[in-house]
Amino acid sequence: MHLTTKGKYAVTAALDLAMHENNDFISIADLSLRQSIPGPYLEQLFRNLRKAGILTSHRGPGGGYKLSRPSNEIKIGQIISAVEDRMDATQCSGEGNCSAGSKCLAHNLWTDLNNQVQSFLMDRSLEDVLRDSNNKSLTLNNNKKLLIAAG
Amino acid sequence: MHLTTKGKYAVTAALDLAMHENNDFISIADLSLRQSIPGPYLEQLFRNLRKAGILTSHRGPGGGYKLSRPSNEIKIGQIISAVEDRMDATQCSGEGNCSAGSKCLAHNLWTDLNNQVQSFLMDRSLEDVLRDSNNKSLTLNNNKKLLIAAG
DNA sequence: TATATTCTTGACAAGATTTGTCAAGAATAG
DNA sequence: CTATTCTTGACAAATCTTGTCAAGAATATA
Ligand code: FES
Ligand code: FES
């Protein structure tokens, strides 16, 4: 199970696109600047997201990328599967044969872990994460203000 | 978040030790053979497990390793933290500063994922996994027998 | 004591993956 | 026509994973 910067960058960039859902197209240059992601690297990741039908692109001046569906219909898990290729936690790729041809003692454990993580990632849309991020950040700011007022 | 063969081998080896909890000490040679794990590699992993207080060792003929506590008091998560050093899913190592010094849009998402995975791994002892593995395997065998009988 | 066994420690190396870059080309707006 | 922006393929540096090895220390047993 490898969740690398590929997956993290891809999700962050997608969240940025979700935030600006009303805008037309957003260029890699803008995204790269706003989210501190190396441009040419993001380029590479966006190939996969486009191939997976998550992003739509447009060339030329004013061109760029946007989500191909509303942000509440795109799940974090879909983004990650599009760019990560080693998310499976089993040693046997699900074949159940990693201990001299048969199931190792931990096979069911890794399978359960896979399901757990997949559920987590597939249960959350871009919209969900954005809303959640705002809520917690607001709470944090309120607490800080209270503390400052009290101190 | 990187779960590599290090963690998987370590857990499998620990499960083997848990299965033979009554025996005295088990040598790396035996473990390596039974679980199809490269001996010298396991050696390296066991250093960490010993340092973490999970294993006890004894040198000389008849020596080897055994669990330092009953198998129901050792959690999968403890084994994994002992050998894996990149389990954290956040990009910022929890600092909340990976987007030009402040929290990126996905920070809370990765933090939640961390908690989810940690809970999963810390809720399961070696004994739990062993029992679970046996149950499912028995169920599977029963079903197979029924199918064979019916076919 | 001599010997075979087994862990202990430190270091090293091959291979794979990740991370990031680049350049040439195609499409498009103005 | 020109500047912009994606598109594609390839490449390279850095890092990590995976696995190996050898010399040494401890211990059981004859
Ligand atoms: S992980 Fe599937 S058999 Fe070992
Ligand atoms: S993951 Fe923590 S700030 Fe981005």
Q: Which two tokens stand for residue B100?
A: 């030009």
Q: What is the pLDDT of residue B29?
A: 97
Q: Is A69 exposed, middle or buried (0-12, 13-18, 19+ CB in 10 A)?
A: middle
Calculate ∠ Cα B55-B47-B77, nearest 5°: 60
Per-residue pLDDT tens digits for A47-81? 999 999 999 999 999 999 999 999 999 999 999 99
Average pLDDT, whole number, for chain B?
Answer: 90
Q: How high does pLDDT run on average in chain A?
A: 90
A47 touches strand C (CB under 7 A): no
The whole-number pLDDT of residue B136 equals 65
pLDDT at B143: 43
pLDDT of residue A150: 32
| Residue A100 confidence (pLDDT) | 80
Confidence check: pLDDT of A142 > 70: no
* pLDDT score, position A101: 84
| Confidence check: pLDDT of A147 > 60 | no
Within residues 50-69 of protein chain B, the ones with CB less than 7 A from nucleic strand D are 58-63
**Which nucleotide is at minimal CA–C1' distance from A55?**
D6
Residue A133 CA to residue B37 CA, distance in Å, equals 43
pLDDT band for A45, please (50, 70, 90 cuts).
very high
Selecting from B89, B106, B121 the residue whose C-beta is nearest the C-beta of A129 gives B106
The verdict on the CB of residue A90 being under 6 Å from ligand 1 is yes
Which pLDDT does position B101 carry in this prediction?
85
pTM score: 0.91
- Whole-number percent of chain B with pLDDT over 90: 83
Say how far apart CA B119 and CA B116 lie, in whole Å.
Answer: 5
Contact A2 B2 (CB under 8 A): yes
Count CB-CB contacts under 10 A for residue B69.
14
Whether B86 contacts chain A with CB within 8 A? no
In DSSP terms, B22 is beta-bridged to: none
Distance CA A33, CA B116 (A): 31
| Alpha carbon distance A104, B117 (integer Å) | 21
Q: Give the lowest-confidence range in A34-38, A53-57, A81-85, B96-100.
A: B96-100
Residue B99's pLDDT is what? 86
User: What pLDDT does B137 receive?
Assistant: 55
Over residues B42-95, the pLDDT tens digits come to: 999 999 999 999 999 999 999 999 999 999 999 999 999 999 999 999 999 999
Identify the band that residue B144 occupies on the pLDDT scale cut at 50, 70 and 90: very low
* Local confidence band at A137 (pLDDT 50, 70, 90 cut-offs): low
Ligand 2 pocket, mutate which of B86, B102, B104, B114 (most atoms under 8 A from CB): B104
Question: Which of the residue ranges A83-87, B2-6, B140-144 would you say has the lowest mean pLDDT?
Answer: B140-144
For residue A123, the 8-state DSSP code is S
The gap between A82 CA and D10 C1' (Å) is: 21
Per-residue confidence band for B113, with pLDDT thresholds at 50, 70 and 90: very high
pLDDT score of B123: 97
Contacts of B72 (CB under 8 A, 6+ apart): B125, B126, B127, B128
Residues 53 through 72 of chain A touching chain B, CB cutoff 8 Å: none
Q: What is the pLDDT of residue A145?
A: 35
pLDDT at B150: 32
Q: Does residue A110 have a pLDDT over 90?
A: yes
User: Does any ligand 1 atom lie closer than 6 A to the CB of residue A114?
Assistant: no
CA atoms within 13 A on the CB side of B116: 19
Residue nearest to nucleotide D2 (CA to C1'): A61
Nearest of B63, B60, B62, B55 to residue B17 by alpha carbon = B55
Chain B residue with minimal CA distance to A100? Answer: B36
Distance CA B15, CA A100 (A): 16
